[in-house]
């Protein structure tokens, strides 16, 4: 008795999980939720289901490892959980329980002891209970409260604890992977995190897969189908502070949604925020590890990158994969033509563009630089090969791809695409469209269904070696010759995209006069020959600079391949849902086949030459790009990019 009184006088934050469970058993009024308690230990969501549903729910957990990391499954009728806590009784050691009948929440109670006797009703009730405790199975699932202490140690503020509130929990529009009788939407918790501390929050939580692991979404809640942060479906609304970003973790309350949808005759759960406190440390060395979660490894640690401002979206990629893509970026920045392109380099533009494209579903690619205005056709061999390389990889990843070209080149490019299919460079023909000036709303109507900004046709535009509009409204080649009469106003699409939520843009160039290079306009004007006149005025969200623009296209294709063999990135894309391996053998073979190769690129370049398309710098009708012969310059670059890509495949 004296020990109990001492515990009651001690601050709750200083008590062990065992002592806190004892106070909960005694109905200590100070313990309403367990957020902020038992720092250093895992907490658990608890679901109690009829035995006949137990195997289905176990499969549901395995299929959805991020929201439902299974810590322990009890035997039928078992009230203890020896692997998680000593001397525990699940009927009394949670401060508040929910009781469900036929999928409806009928009450909340502070104890389940009255349900322990088979078929016996609680006092005052005459009706027989629909089931008995001996027929029930308990599932203990990891909880994000288990990492809040570690967040604070890393200097990341935990706003719900600071504000004395339960964490905010939201039902999303993201469906879990169904299993047996169970299917329901994913539930997430939201914690506001200062933008400068996002990497710290991601790293800390990644190391605790038992507590849901790394976030499954960072940025605009509407992308999850959450319309109003001030109205959580469970828990309390938590206020954001200036500079905070909304960060969402998968949540074990998903299990409650599973109960509601499967409608068992009788079921129990913890009340959201009132967790079971375990004796298991919240460290990655814990002996309990969900079978679908990898053991922590430094190269697997995710990094966080912003990929979109409107809507706000961040993405995750492992340190190892990020290093590989940065290696690609350095390679393509080599400048054998001595144009001084390194002066325009901005680190991680390739990585951010690849991440944005990985999140996309429909991409429009444009190319075409009619630098040889004295010839017919006036186009050059830099641009189309890189465009086709990107399109091939995007298509293999399940994206929709559309090519945008000039009206003057429509029939020629259609024939070139057909030839690429015939020779095996492309699997299937790509839709080819044009955009011409049709008034002030033409760009919006081109980009959006019925001109509605809420219904975009594309979510990313890519320009590679596409002549870009200068400050005076003209288009210049590197010799400062105005070629405006040969260029359709595709720039207007990039300008309009800035004002349409959900459409990102990428520009790839090697001189600063290409569409999208407006992002580095000041550098072009001051550092590139004739830059004050030729610099493109129109920016892209991501500006990839390369010694040859085609190399930028090859690097994007390789970067996308690396992302889709990166467990950290794929987990984020899938919101931690799904049992399938990171990549199947069939998928991997298809993606590998669709990488650029020396054979395919040489074949496609020969097709361009047969159509009279010339090298950009020299005007030669030969197997060269920008005055550099395909062998050895371009073939060597392709080989090196592939070696760097395949060497990193599936590792990080």
DSSP string, 336-370: TT---GGGG--TTHHHHHHHHHHH-SEEEEEEE--
**CA distance linking residue 502 with residue 541, whole number of Å:** 12
Residue-wise pLDDT tens digits, 397-435: 999 999 999 999 999 999 999 999 999 999 899 999 999
pLDDT tops 90 at residue 283: no
**CA distance linking residue 591 with residue 597, whole number of Å:** 12
pLDDT of residue 117: 57
Q: Using the 8-state DSSP alphabet, how is residue 314 labeled?
A: E
Residue-wise pLDDT tens digits, 58-89: 999 999 999 999 999 999 999 999 999 999 99
Of 534, 508, 528, 503, the C-alpha closest to 519 is 508
Percent of the chain at pLDDT exceeding 70 = 92
Mean pLDDT confidence for 488-502: 97
Mean pLDDT confidence for 218-238: 96
Cβ partners under 8 Å of residue 287, min gap 6? none
Angle at 428 between CA 606 and CA 464, to 5 degrees: 60
pLDDT tops 80 at residue 203: yes
Mean pLDDT confidence for 186-193: 97
Cβ partners under 8 Å of residue 6, min gap 6? none
State phi, psi for 65 to the nearest 5 degrees: -65, -30
pLDDT of residue 286: 52
Residue-averaged pLDDT of the chain:
91
pLDDT tier, 33 (very low <50, low <70, confident <90, very high otherwise): confident
pLDDT of residue 149: 86
Instruction: List the structure tokens of 283.
Output: 């460290």
Return the biggest CA–CA distance within the chain.
Answer: 99
pLDDT tops 90 at residue 458: yes
Q: Which residue has the higher pLDDT, 146 or 29?
A: 29
pLDDT of residue 581: 55
pLDDT of residue 1: 45
Mean pLDDT confidence for 481-491: 97
Neighbours of 310 (CB within 10 A): 14
Which range has the worst mean pLDDT, 95-109, 293-307, 323-337, 481-495? 293-307
pLDDT tops 90 at residue 641: yes
**CA distance linking residue 322 with residue 304, whole number of Å:** 10
Mean pLDDT confidence for 617-633: 96
Cβ partners under 8 Å of residue 618, min gap 6? 624, 627
For residues 167 and 238, the answer to whether their CB atoms sit within 8 Å is yes
Residue-wise pLDDT tens digits, 287-310: 555 544 445 576 889 999 999 999
pLDDT of residue 131: 60
pTM: 0.91
pLDDT tops 70 at residue 582: no
Of 311, 352, 362, the C-alpha closest to 501 is 311
pLDDT tops 80 at residue 130: no
**CA distance linking residue 253 with residue 232, whole number of Å:** 12
For residues 613 and 419, the answer to whether their CB atoms sit within 8 Å is no
Mean pLDDT confidence for 2-20: 69
Angle at 375 between CA 374 and CA 381, to 5 degrees: 120
């Amino acid at each position: 008795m004296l020990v109990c009184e001492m515990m009651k006088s001690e601050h709750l934050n200083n008590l062990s999980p065992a002592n806190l469970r004892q106070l909960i058993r005694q109905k200590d009024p100070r313990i309403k939720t367990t957020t902020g308690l038992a720092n250093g230990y895992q907490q658990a969501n608890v679901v109690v289901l009829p035995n006949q549903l137990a195997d289905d729910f176990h499969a549901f957990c395995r299929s959805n490892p991020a929201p439902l990391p299974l810590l322990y499954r009890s035997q039928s009728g078992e009230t203890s959980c020896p692997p998680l806590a000593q001397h525990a009784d699940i009927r009394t050691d949670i401060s508040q329980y929910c009781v469900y009948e036929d999928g409806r929440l009928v009450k909340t109670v502070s104890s389940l002891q009255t349900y322990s006797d088979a078929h016996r009703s609680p006092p005052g009730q005459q009706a027989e209970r629909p089931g008995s405790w001996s027929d029930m199975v308990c599932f203990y699932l990891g909880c994000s409260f288990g990492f809040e202490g570690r967040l604070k140690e890393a200097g990341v503020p935990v706003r719900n604890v600071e504000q004395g509130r339960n964490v905010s929990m939201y039902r999303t529009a993201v469906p879990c992977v169904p299993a047996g009788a169970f299917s329901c939407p994913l539930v997430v918790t939201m914690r506001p995190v200062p933008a400068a501390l996002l990497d710290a929050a991601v790293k800390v939580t990644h190391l605790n897969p038992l507590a849901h692991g790394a976030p499954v979404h960072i940025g605009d809640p509407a992308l999850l189908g959450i319309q109003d942060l001030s109205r959580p479906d469970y828990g309390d609304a938590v206020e954001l502070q200036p500079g905070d970003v909304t960060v969402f973790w998968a949540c074990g309350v998903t299990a409650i949604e599973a109960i509601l949808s499967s409608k068992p005759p009788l079921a129990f759960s913890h009340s959201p925020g009132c967790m079971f406190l375990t004796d298991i440390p919240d460290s990655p060395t814990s002996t309990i590890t969900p079978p679908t979660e990898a053991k922590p490894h430094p190269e697997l640690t995710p990094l966080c990158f912003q990929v979109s401002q409107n809507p706000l979206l961040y993405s995750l990629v492992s340190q190892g994969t990020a290093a590989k893509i940065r290696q690609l970026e350095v390679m393509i920045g080599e400048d054998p033509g001595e144009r001084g392109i390194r002066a325009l380099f901005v680190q991680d533009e390739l990585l951010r563009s690849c991440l944005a494209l990985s999140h996309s579903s429909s991409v429009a690619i444009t190319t075409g630089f009619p630098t040889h205005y004295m010839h017919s056709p006036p186009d050059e061999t830099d641009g189309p090969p890189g465009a086709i390389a990107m399109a091939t990889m995007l298509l293999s990843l399940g994206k929709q791809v559309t090519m945008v070209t000039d009206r003057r080149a429509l029939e020629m490019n259609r024939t070139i695409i057909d030839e690429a299919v015939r020779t095996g460079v492309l699997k299937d023909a790509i839709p080819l469209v044009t955009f011409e000036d049709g008034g002030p709303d033409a760009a919006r109507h081109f980009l959006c269904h019925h001109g509605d900004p809420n219904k975009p046709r594309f979510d990313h535009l890519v320009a590679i070696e596409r002549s870009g509009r200068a400050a005076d409204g003209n288009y210049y080649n590197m010799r400062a010759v105005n070629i405006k009469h040969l260029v359709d106003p595709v720039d207007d699409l990039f300008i309009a995209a800035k004002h349409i939520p959900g459409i990102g843009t990428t520009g790839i160039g090697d001189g600063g006069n290409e569409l999208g290079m407006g992002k580095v306009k000041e550098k072009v004007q001051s550092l590139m020959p004739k830059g004050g006149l030729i610099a493109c005025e129109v920016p892209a969200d991501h500006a990839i600079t390369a010694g040859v623009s085609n190399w930028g296209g090859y690097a994007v294709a390789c970067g996308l391949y690396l992302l889709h063999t990166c467990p950290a990135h794929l987990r984020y894309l899938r919101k931690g849902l799904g049992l399938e391996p990171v990549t199947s053998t069939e998928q991997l073979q298809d993606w590998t086949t669709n990488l650029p190769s020396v054979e395919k690129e040489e074949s496609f370049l020969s097709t361009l030459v047969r159509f009279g398309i010339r090298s950009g710098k020299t005007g030669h009708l030969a197997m060269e790009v920008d005055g550099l012969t395909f062998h050895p310059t371009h073939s060597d670059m392709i080989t090196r990019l592939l070696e760097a890509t395949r060497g990193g495949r599936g590792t990080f």
